[in-house]
Amino acid sequence: MSSRCCSCAAEGRTFWGWTEEEWVHLLGRDQGEFHRNAPAWAGDEVRPYLAAHAYLLGSFTGFDRLGSFQRLTLARQIFGRDRLNREIAQVRAVLDEWGYRLGRDDDTLLPMVACRLFLLNRSPHVDELTTELFDRVRRDRLLPGTQMNVLHALQRAVSALGFCDPPRQGTGCHSARATGGAPEWERWVDRWPATSPLTPRTRSGVRSNLLKVGRWLQAGHPDAADPAG
């Protein structure tokens, strides 16, 4: 609070009128820049609290401009850990059914990406993750490369829940893959949507069932996994 008051005095106006650039200047693009701009007494622990204030009181969402930063911790502070766990569990259940590693309880990537989207959307609810939001994240490159790999799977799951459109063809190059199936079978499944006349949502459901068959084949009949064989 004291740091924010000092910045208000320096800027000559109250924080609720600040631009995103002014918040970035205060928060810093990394921890070093924060210390260069903040009062000398401000320790490392001050920055996350200022980020929460920026989000709640200043409508700031430009967290992609802050460098390495604990967005998951921030989202838990703002929305509550239990609420986030309940929302993410809906997505995990779908991804686990499809065989994605992201569906496992010990996965950490899905919560990181989901919480980034919740912060951008200013809502912790999966049913408010829109097609437009996913498109914006891709268009503006609001996630680092390793987390972009999760975005495709997350949108597929949210689409299967009925809350947005499935990812468009061509975004699969950034997709997290389902695991545990017969590799040759999965290659055929990956090629199938491009030739199917079914609607995107129907294709998504059929693809899920085909991947289940691939896991069954891998477990019990690996020699029969090639449809052309």
- How many domains does the chain fold into? 3
Whether 13 and 61 map to the same domain: the answer is yes
Per-chain mean pLDDT for the chain: 82
User: Is-contact 207 179, C-beta < 8 A?
Assistant: no
State residue 162 phi and psi, 5-degree precision. Answer: 95, 20
**Residue 213 located in a structural domain:** yes
Mean pLDDT (whole number) for 135-151: 89
3-state helix, strand, coil in the chain (%, to 5): 70, 0, 30
What is the residue type of 44?
D
Q: Where is the domain boundary, 12, 36, 69?
A: 69
Mean pLDDT (whole number) for 26-47: 82
**Residue 103 located in a structural domain:** yes
User: Is-contact 189 211, C-beta < 8 A?
Assistant: yes
State residue 67 phi and psi, 5-degree precision. Answer: 70, -150
Q: Which of 80, 74, 77, 114 is nearest to 94 (CA)?
A: 114
Whether 88 and 113 map to the same domain: the answer is yes
| 174 has pLDDT over 50 | no
Whether 37 and 85 map to the same domain: the answer is no
Range of the domain at 84: 79-174
DSSP tag of 223: G
**Residue 165 located in a structural domain:** yes
Q: Where is the domain boundary, 69, 96, 111?
A: 69
Whether 218 and 150 map to the same domain: the answer is no
Long-range CB contacts (within 8 A, 24+) of 198-206: 200/159, 200/165, 200/166, 201/159, 201/160, 201/166, 203/166, 204/156, 204/159, 204/160, 204/166, 205/160
Whether 107 and 170 map to the same domain: the answer is yes
Whether 92 and 141 map to the same domain: the answer is yes
**Residue 216 located in a structural domain:** yes
Mean pLDDT (whole number) for 133-157: 91
Find how far residue 207's CA is from the centre of its chain. 22
Q: Which of 5-9, 147-151, 217-221 has the highest mean pLDDT?
A: 147-151
Instruction: Report the sign of the C-alpha dihedral through residues 147, 150, 152, 158, in that order.
Output: negative
All residues at 6 or more sequence positions from 215 whose CB lies less than 8 Å from its CB, including other chains: 99, 180, 181, 182
Whether 187 and 204 map to the same domain: the answer is yes
Whether 29 and 50 map to the same domain: the answer is yes
**Residue 218 located in a structural domain:** yes
Whether 93 and 161 map to the same domain: the answer is yes
**Residue 229 located in a structural domain:** no
Whether 44 and 128 map to the same domain: the answer is no
pLDDT at 166: 92
Residue, of 112 and 176, whose pLDDT is higher:
112
For the full predicted model, state whether its pTM sits above 0.75. Answer: no
Mean pLDDT (whole number) for 167-173: 66
Residue, of 94 and 200, whose pLDDT is higher:
94
What are the pLDDT digits (tens) for 51-75?
Answer: 898 998 888 988 888 887 788 999 9
**Residue 163 located in a structural domain:** yes
| 110 has pLDDT over 90 | yes
Give Dmax over CA atoms of the chain in angstroms.
75
Residue, of 203 and 124, whose pLDDT is higher:
124
Q: Where is the domain boundary, 69, 95, 112?
A: 69
3-state secondary structure at position 100: strand
All residues at 6 or more sequence positions from 228 whose CB lies less than 8 Å from its CB, including other chains: 188
**Residue 74 located in a structural domain:** no
Whether 170 and 188 map to the same domain: the answer is no
